[in-house]
Structure 1
Amino acid sequence: MSGTTVETQARSRVQLEIKELHGSLSDPVLDTMNFLNEVTHRYPDAISFAPGRPYDGFFDTEQVFTHVRRYLGHLAEQGSSERDIRTALYQYGPTAGLIRGIIADSLRADEDTDVPAESIVVTVGAQEAMLLVLRALFAGPDDVLLVSSPCYVGITGAARLLDVAVRPVEEREDGFNAADLEAAVLAEQASGRRPRAFYVVPDHSNPSGNTMGPQARKELLELAERYDFLVLEDSPYRLVSPGVPQPTLKSQDRARRVVHLGSYSKTVFPGARVGFVVADQCVLNAVGEEHLLADELAKIKSMVTVNTSSLSQAAVAGALLGARGRLSELNAEAAAYYGNAMRETLRQLDIQLPAARREALGVRWNKPTGGFFLTMRVPFRVDNTVLTTSAQDFGVIWTPMTHFCPGTGGHHGIRLSISYLTPDEIEEGTARLARFVEARSGLL
């Protein structure tokens, strides 16, 4: 092949410029997951407090087959023919999901939440549920999503993809404050915008680890009714935490103000990629007929993922059936393990950075009673470059809180995840973390 031909082919190749693609692709929030995975793979010998994933020790390969067989047996007991069962497992299946009735039964058994199966849409993880809900609710540029900040990057990332305006409501050190949310709502209304929904993780929040108290939950529901907005409740950690959890917002929702986002990634297994959304709000069509918001979400889903994997739904359904719907019982051992991991992390931090020393350094952390995360404040600014130094020179990985703060903020915070580590790794990891904090603080 001649040099001229090669040069001609090179000139004829399509070359795309990032400025010509959707603006979200240049937003740092979309790089968060990839960056953390890259750092973890680049420094395999580092101890990582970054991944918010379940502990592998609770998984047994054979469980998957047991779950699926139990669900298929359930279908047979319900009168399904062999052909029906084969179709249910191998075909696309209904867009809204095959196992909505089983999920509704589980919500009644475990969460004191009584909703019709028709109000549920089974999704590809809670992440798809967020995307569907945002697409349905946010109709124009004046609709605003309020988020408790710091917040899970999945919601802000989905909002960015859909060009949904986001306003953070800063969480205080002791958690959510209703007065702060009301001030944000009034400010948006005064600017001619409509606060459409408020996103919150009320139980052992990702990333802060904070839990909303009973009075705050009551005040939030009252605000939603008073100012006519919806609450997007995302609570994946409540049933993998020790102790009796607070009632969900949805279980206390008398005015249908709460859209509940559910996930089986922490309670069953993340590889299934099964979540759900409870959307029992009424929608009036053009001729005044009522139907459920869930019906509208199913329309959107039909153009996004068509349906959630039937095989994955079968595995999750089998797990639910085996536990009689009580995920709290299914996860009792896991909840105890994570509770012990949290207490051990806090104990080791106290050993490595005693009260007098951390006061002198200007270091502090919160003390969650459950969930996967706690947060530490340090006297120096942290970012991805500082994280790389921590991984390379000190052998410990964490997550900068800047990833979880829409706009600005979080520059002196780090998130620590305790869920994926053994006690020995926690002991060594906190020792490495303390050495990093001491060394970095000495540079001030």
Structure 2
Amino acid sequence: MSTPSPAPTGLPLAELHGSLADPLLDQMTFLNEVTLRYPDAVSFAPGRPYEGLFDTADISASLDSYVAHLREDCGLDGDAVRSRLFQYGRTKGLINDLIARQLLADEAIRADPEDIVVTVGAQEGMLLVLRALCAGPDDVLLVSSPCYVGITGAARLLDIPVVPVPEGAAGGMAPEALAATVRAERAAGRRPRACYLVPDFANPSGASLPVAARRRLLDLAEDLDLLLIEDDPYGFFSLDDRSRPTLKALDTRRRVVHIGSYAKTCFPGARLGYVVADQRVTGRSGAAGRLADELARLKSMTTVNTSALSQAVIGGMLLRCGFRLRAAGEPVRRFYAGNLRVLLGELERVFPADRQAIHGVSWNAPSGGFFLVLTLPFEADPEAMEECARDFGVLWTPMAAFYPAGGGARLARLSCSYLTPDRIRQGVGRLAAFVTVRTGRGPAPGR
């Protein structure tokens, strides 16, 4: 007679970390799953690059360029090159000097390579920075509202309270709202440790911060003794070929921790990001070290290091374009700018001014990037989105999860990065039909 198998061990969710019960952590999973359930739907949901812009031959060519660089420019022999590519490598990174050259050429950011930490995507950079900066129960993170769920999710994993600062009418975080929020938090006995924002074409709103407001934020950061965490994944993708200076490029007082990524500009599958952390850290002895070194210490206990092969490919891409990634990516910028113009034009076509009033629909008009926000006359919740996917064949992203303190119930994020112009036109037509049926207000617009 066989012995009965013991019952599997049960783990009550209530006894696991509280973040696991937070709906915020389900957002990306839900979107991925619903996309898989409706593979033929036109998807305005993912903020990922368009795959038609990539060429697999670039991977091997870039790797070859990096190996040649190691041999010819760095003077490494065959054994050293093999070790550089196959071994774990330095925790802080292997291509810090190449990233520093690209940042100088493209952004006028003067970064010492030793103030750079190469990370597994920008997401790891966020986790490392938050873990290093937020030390006690009274520390809070300020964020723009609406805000990218990656940073609020990271804060939730680390049990760091998040305090929203609303975006202003002019676009991006309102400087005076930031100042008022800092003072209110301090009056309540809390310590605003840093403020996270995306100055250019933010995810999810598409908003950009005017240059004057950037300078004002830097002045406030100095006056209020606050750090700014700048996330810059979309800065290359303006509607025109003009660029605004990053906060870090304007930062003369080391108030900005700059997070970047090559996911949108080079190769998302490489999962390569970086942090420029040039702030100085004073120890008990009074000796000053680098914040970047402290981030690397944290990294050594998480991912240990970033893939040497990913760094080699990205390093080769930077070498091949002479460290002028913005100029090399001009065709890519034009593609995304064209997509955004098509999306804006199609919304205007199917919802001209009179139809906007009838259907209660409106949207913003970003000056670049991947996203815009559509205001609907009904709740734009996951149930409505799934109905839209099932019955009309089009997907979008509910905005409520992007508001840390609540809000965004009737807002939908539309991303135009992953589609061709024809699919954008098809998707907007389907979306217009959904809105018309949902509201019961006349025939489908544009039909």
Per the normalisation by structure 2, the TM-score is: 0.96
How far apart, CA to CA, are the structure 1 residues paired with 2:138 and 2:365?
Answer: 38
How far is the alpha carbon of 1:62 from its aligned partner? 1.0
How far is the alpha carbon of 1:92 from its aligned partner? 0.2
How far apart, CA to CA, are the structure 1 residues paired with 2:22 and 2:251?
Answer: 35
Q: CA RMSD in A?
A: 1.1
Deviations 1:400-420 (A, max 9, x none): 001211131110100000001
How far apart, CA to CA, are the structure 1 residues paired with 2:92 and 2:222?
Answer: 28
Deviations 1:111-138 (A, max 9, x none): 0011100000000000000000000000
Q: Which residue identity does 1:43 align to in structure 2? A: Y
* Residues 317/339 of structure 1: CA separation in 2 closer, same or farther (3 Å cut): same
Q: Which residue identity does 1:162 align to in structure 2? A: L
Matched, 1:298 2:296: yes
How far is the alpha carbon of 1:255 from its aligned partner? 0.6
How far apart, CA to CA, are the structure 2 residues paired with 1:375 and 1:173?
Answer: 14
Q: Give the SS at the match of 2:199.
A: coil
Aligned equivalent of 2:355: 357
How far is the alpha carbon of 1:360 from its aligned partner? 2.3
Q: Which residue identity does 1:263 align to in structure 2? A: S
Aligned equivalent of 2:209: 212
Aligned equivalent of 1:188: 185
Asked if 2 retains the 8 angstrom alpha-carbon contact of 1:151 and 1:207, the reply is yes
How far is the alpha carbon of 1:84 from its aligned partner? 0.7
Unaligned ranges ≥5, structure 1: none
Size of the aligned set, in residue pairs, is 438
Asked if 2 retains the 8 angstrom alpha-carbon contact of 1:352 and 1:431, the reply is yes
Aligned equivalent of 1:72: 67
Aligned equivalent of 1:233: 230
How far is the alpha carbon of 1:173 from its aligned partner? 4.4
Q: How does 1:349-388 map to 2 (within 5 A)?
A: 349-388=347-386
Matched, 1:17 2:15: no
How far is the alpha carbon of 1:286 from its aligned partner? 1.2
How far apart, CA to CA, are the structure 2 residues paired with 1:59 and 1:279?
Answer: 31
Deviations 1:379-436 (A, max 9, x none): 1112111111111111110000012111311101000000010111011000011111
Q: Give the SS at the match of 2:163.
A: strand
Q: Which residue identity does 1:238 align to in structure 2? A: G
Asked if 2 retains the 8 angstrom alpha-carbon contact of 1:70 and 1:321, the reply is yes
Q: How does 1:23-42 map to 2 (within 5 A)?
A: 23-42=18-37
Matched, 1:275 2:273: yes
Q: How does 1:23-172 map to 2 (within 5 A)?
A: 23-77=18-72, 78-172=74-168
How far apart, CA to CA, are the structure 2 residues paired with 1:59 and 1:311?
Answer: 18
Aligned equivalent of 1:284: 282
Aligned equivalent of 2:257: 259
Aligned equivalent of 1:404: 402
Q: Which residue identity does 2:176 align to in structure 1? A: A
How far apart, CA to CA, are the structure 2 residues paired with 1:85 and 1:376?
Answer: 51
Deviations 1:203-261 (A, max 9, x none): 00000001100111011101111111100000101113342111000000011000000
Unaligned ranges ≥5, structure 2: 442-447
Q: Which residue identity does 2:25 align to in structure 1? A: L
Q: Give the SS at the match of 2:236.
A: helix
How far apart, CA to CA, are the structure 2 residues paired with 1:94 and 1:359?
Answer: 59
Per the normalisation by structure 1, the TM-score is: 0.97
Asked if 2 retains the 8 angstrom alpha-carbon contact of 1:240 and 1:266, the reply is no
Q: Give the SS at the match of 1:339.
A: helix
Q: How does 1:415-426 map to 2 (within 5 A)?
A: 415-426=413-424
Asked if 2 retains the 8 angstrom alpha-carbon contact of 1:106 and 1:326, the reply is yes
Asked if 1 retains the 8 angstrom alpha-carbon contact of 2:227 and 2:255, the reply is yes
Q: Give the SS at the match of 1:186.
A: helix
Q: Which residue identity does 2:148 align to in structure 1? A: Y
How far apart, CA to CA, are the structure 1 residues paired with 2:169 and 2:381?
Answer: 21
Aligned equivalent of 1:322: 320
